[in-house]
């Protein structure tokens, strides 16, 4: 009972007083999560409550118009929904709550707490879709961003304000890697969006991160896979809007979004619901455009001096790295870290495929000596991996290829260097020092 009064009070403090006559529409049809409403003309992105008796109500979001009717997508199940139910606007269209109150909290796609705490007191509201800015507003990447993972900081060095993807199939270690980075990254604020993931994984992440010393600088937005597609999209937008809010305060923000593929899946469901034709492998153009709009909101801000370093996991369905979502993400991001199932099956963690991974800003932030050592290490790893089958059969004759001979001699040292225990963090300087030591011994 008290929790209900808290929710009501939170809504009253966040919503402006409206002296206009109350407006409402009527439900005329329902096709799965898509409903049509007559008599209510409100903007796309608006939230509405559908009265269902005296005690309960449904929540829906406006997603389009057709033949004089307003199209809405339910944010929950359609159970007990009846024709003729009254639909009333609820809240401000196109905005999400943001503010300092989200730090140390775990919320859903609407900003409501899922951690058992009191309602979050949002101090302001941000645009759900972000504010489009000029290209020159995004400053250049000039400062190194340390992740705490030796193979990344030495061979695919990231920068503050960079947008990078972690590309892998299911069960290869994406979630474990972002868990380590969230703990070990050098950032003022960490915003984590768990979109379309398993509820158990959300519970584990919140339990580890929101009861530690880092909780005071961490905000978690979680929308599991069984929730409505527009709620999953709102979760991704809320996480990005929170990152933008803290960037505007001049903070160095790390935005982790797991996963970009689930966001694309949600956008695909909504687009197909509205009748848009599927394109590449069933993805309508608007679904892939959602990825671009979301990713472009990260980066450095010239005006405010803050930054949003974006880390996005990308699920390669069926281990196909030419999947439309993977290909779109790879084209728009500033780099990608590829995790290999074959390397994971050999027992090496993190299972980073170094030759296939790339940081497009490394040349701008790494020293010449560091770049030379990284190029040499990549050459040795590539030479060994491309001839692995030949070596396993014993068909290679030593002395035939000087680079391969060096790679064979240094293989054990390289494997030890690339591997790292889960939960162990290595400073960027130590990672570069270890790289130089391996190259010197090889």
Q: CA distances (Å), 176 to each of 11, 118, 267, in order?
A: 36, 30, 26
What distance in Å separates the CA atoms of residue 313 and residue 193, rounded to the nearest whole number?
11
Q: Give the model's confidence band at 14: pLDDT under 50 very low, under 70 low, under 90 confident, else very high.
A: low
- Select from 360, 393, 421 the last residue of a domain: 360
- Is-contact 124 294, C-beta < 8 A? no
Q: Are residues 177 and 259 in the same domain?
A: yes
- Select from 309, 325, 360 the last residue of a domain: 360
- Percent of the chain beyond pLDDT 90? 52
- Is-contact 365 162, C-beta < 8 A? no
Residue at 70 is within a domain = yes
Given this model, what pLDDT does residue 398 score? 87
Look up the domain containing 31 and give its range: 22-89
Task: Return the SS3 of 234.
Answer: helix
Domain count for the chain, please give it: 3
Among 418, 344, 429, 340, smallest CA distance to 377 is for 418
Measured in degrees and rounded to the nearest 5, phi and psi for residue 80 equal 75, 0
Residue at 3 is within a domain = no
Q: What global pTM score does this model have?
A: 0.89
Residue at 4 is within a domain = no
Q: Give the model's confidence band at 390: pLDDT under 50 very low, under 70 low, under 90 confident, else very high.
A: confident
pLDDT at 280 over 80: no
Given this model, what pLDDT does residue 35 score? 92
Residues 6+ apart with CB under 8 A from 174: 166, 168, 258, 259, 313, 315, 339
Q: Are residues 175 and 261 in the same domain?
A: yes
Q: Are residues 385 and 324 in the same domain?
A: no
Task: Return the SS3 of 246.
Answer: helix
Given this model, what pLDDT does residue 396 score? 83
Q: Are residues 428 and 347 in the same domain?
A: no
- Select from 69, 89, 109 the last residue of a domain: 89
Tell me: the pLDDT tens digits for 295-348?
Answer: 999 999 998 889 999 999 999 877 778 888 999 999 999 999 999 999 999 889
Tell me: the pLDDT tens digits for 22-78?
Answer: 688 999 998 888 999 998 988 888 899 998 766 678 889 999 998 889 999 998 888
- Is-contact 32 78, C-beta < 8 A? yes
Phi-psi region of 194 (alpha: psi -120 to 50; beta: other; left: phi over 0): beta
Q: CA distances (Å), 67 to each of 37, 47, 130, in order?
A: 11, 20, 29
Q: Are residues 414 and 330 in the same domain?
A: no
Given this model, what pLDDT does residue 1 score? 47
Domain containing residue 197: CATH number: 3.40.50.12240
Please indicate whether residue 245 or residue 185 has the higher confidence score (pLDDT): 245
Residues 6+ apart with CB under 8 A from 402: none
Q: Are residues 241 and 274 in the same domain?
A: yes
Q: Are residues 305 and 185 in the same domain?
A: yes
Tell me the average pLDDT of the chain: 88
Tell me: the pLDDT tens digits for 130-179?
Answer: 888 888 888 899 999 999 999 999 999 999 999 999 998 888 888 888 88
Q: Are residues 356 and 376 in the same domain?
A: no
CB burial class (10 A; 0-12, 13-18, 19+) of residue 95?
Answer: middle
pLDDT at 9 over 70: no
């Amino acid at each position: 009972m008290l929790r209900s009064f808290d929710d009501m009070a939170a809504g009253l403090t966040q919503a402006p007083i409206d002296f206009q006559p109350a407006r409402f529409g009527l439900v005329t049809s329902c096709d799965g999560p898509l409903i049509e409403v007559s008599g209510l003309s409100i903007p796309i992105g608006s939230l509405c409550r559908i009265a269902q008796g005296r005690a309960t109500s449904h929540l829906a979001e406006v997603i389009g118009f057709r033949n004089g009717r307003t199209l809405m997508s339910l944010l929950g199940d359609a159970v007990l929904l009846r024709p003729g139910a009254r639909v009333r606007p609820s809240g401000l269209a196109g905005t999400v709550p943001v503010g300092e109150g989200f730090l140390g909290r775990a919320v859903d796609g609407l900003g409501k707490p899922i951690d058992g705490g009191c309602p979050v007191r949002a101090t302001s509201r941000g645009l759900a879709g972000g504010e489009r800015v000029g290209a020159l507003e995004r400053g250049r990447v000039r400062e190194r961003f340390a992740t705490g993972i030796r193979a990344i900081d030495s061979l695919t060095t990231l920068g503050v304000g960079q947008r990078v993807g972690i590309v892998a199939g299911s069960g290869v270690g994406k979630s474990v890697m972002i868990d380590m980075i969230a703990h070990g990254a050098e950032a003022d604020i960490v915003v984590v969006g768990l979109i379309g993931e398993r509820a158990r994984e959300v519970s584990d992440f919140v339990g580890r991160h929101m009861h530690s010393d880092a909780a005071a600088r961490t905000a978690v937005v979680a929308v599991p896979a069984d929730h409505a597609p527009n709620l999953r999209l709102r979760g991704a937008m809320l996480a990005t809007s929170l990152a933008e809010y803290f960037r505007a305060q001049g903070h160095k923000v790390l935005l982790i979004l797991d996963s970009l593929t689930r966001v694309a899946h949600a956008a695909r469901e909504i687009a197909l619901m509205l009748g848009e034709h599927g394109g590449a492998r069933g993805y309508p153009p608007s679904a892939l455009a959602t990825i671009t709009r979301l990713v472009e909101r990260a980066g450095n801000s010239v005006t405010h001096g803050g930054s949003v370093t974006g880390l996005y996991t990308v699920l390669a369905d069926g281990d196909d790295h030419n999947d439309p979502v993977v290909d779109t993400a790879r084209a728009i991001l500033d780099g990608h870290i590829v995790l290999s199932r074959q390397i994971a099956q050999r027992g090496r963690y993190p299972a980073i495929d170094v030759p296939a991974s790339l940081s497009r800003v490394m040349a701008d932030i790494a020293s010449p000596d560091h770049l030379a050592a990284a190029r040499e290490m990549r050459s040795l790893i590539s030479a060994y991996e491309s001839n692995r089958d030949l070596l396993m059969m014993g068909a290679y004759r030593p002395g035939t290829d000087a680079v391969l001979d060096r790679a064979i001699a240094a293989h054990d040292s390289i494997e030890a260097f690339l591997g790292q225990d889960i939960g162990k963090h290595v400073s960027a300087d130590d990672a570069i020092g270890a790289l130089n030591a391996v190259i010197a011994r090889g």
